[in-house]
Amino acid sequence: MGLHARPAALIVQTANKFPCDVVLLKDEQEVNAKSIMGVLMLAAAKGSEILVRAEGEQATACVEAIDQLFQKGFNEAM
């Protein structure tokens, strides 16, 4: 399963916990990770490579938190 509404919402909720600017990049496309529409517009299928980039206060913690969502499969049943 790809990046559908629930995982996208979890990314946005997590990103909004931090004061930094954070973007997701897939191929040539860059979107604001704090925007549900932006995250959904990535249309990332399972197995897609997504880069998380953050700048500003707590940027490292933000990237790590979003990475954990991906690592845990967004806590969805397989």
With a CB cutoff of 8 Å and minimum separation 6, the contacts of 57 are: 18, 19, 20
Give bridge partners of residue 21 from the DSSP assignment.
Answer: 55
Query: Residue 31: in which H helix or E strand, if any?
Result: strand 29-32
3-class SS shares of the chain: helix, strand, coil, % to 5: 40, 20, 40
Catalytic residue IDs: 4
